Structure 1
Amino acid sequence: MLGLFSKKAMILGAPAAGQLLDITQVNDPFFASKNLGDGVAVIPQSQTVCAPCDGRLVMVFETRHAFGIRCGEVEVLVHIGIDTVQMQGQGFTALKKVNDRVRRGEPIIRFDRERLSAYDLTVMMFVTQPQALRWQKHLENSRVEAGDRVMTGERL
């Protein structure tokens, strides 16, 4: 009976270790204006980008600069860098493949910081299919590790 009234929150973790920002603070007006959805960004300190939640990898761009995960009813897009698509996949290594089951904090893409040094490597995470959830961002910690809670979604 008590289960009928409980709310189960969905937790999204940081896609990388580094400095946490609100998505509106990234250096690209298209992303900052939430055209792909609301979210957060991380200025990465490592070269590994991880799954923000437990789910299934539903897409890895051919250029490996972005991937999508389905977490229950929610879809999340992780995009590595600004204009990095121009590298046509050079400097990116996929560690998982489409349809793989992944866990929050598990490495998905590794990138070569030296090879991509001409680009802003900010890692952006967007909730592209928010469903019937109210999202709260947890921006109080400016320094995060991959998998640390950065957003929570609760049923409306």
Structure 2
Amino acid sequence: MARPAGPGVAGSIARAGNNFRSRGFRRTPYRVRRKPLLQHVERGPGHPPGLRESSLAAAGLPATLPLHITEHGWGTGPGRSAERQVEVLELVVGIVAGLAERLAIEVYEYHALRDADSGGVEPVFQLGLLRDDYTPKPAFEAYRRLIAARSLSGR
């Protein structure tokens, strides 16, 4: 007779796996990097080449290859406000939209529509634009507004 699925070993492994991926080898709490995001995206003269000039070229991929930005997100939770989630979302979407034509970025996808665990302490489980009960966070309306402002007419 098959055992019913439950939290048991599989659930423990899944939780351990999620914790490992979310925290890696860090022994310190999550830190917010304050370096300007543009510094990593737009490289001027004298800086190391970016993704297009180094990694894609080394793989023999053309500079015209469309890029997809996927699984971007900012988790909320203790010490990580919903207002900051909106700020980061607006910043990143603005940068991606501004560089889309030059870098052939065709797709931007936010990481998660809904939190996995809104009441937890791990930001990785609170990446959603909605809470785990499907109530919207402030970032939900911000994302809706950003998408509407950048959508092509007739699509």
Between Structure 1 and Structure 2, the one with more helix by share is 2
Instruction: Tell which has more relative contact order, 1 or 2 (C-alpha 8 A, sep 6+).
Output: 1
Classify the TM-score, shorter chain.
under 0.3
Q: Find the structure with the greater CA-based Rg.
A: 2
TM-score, scaled to structure 1: 0.23
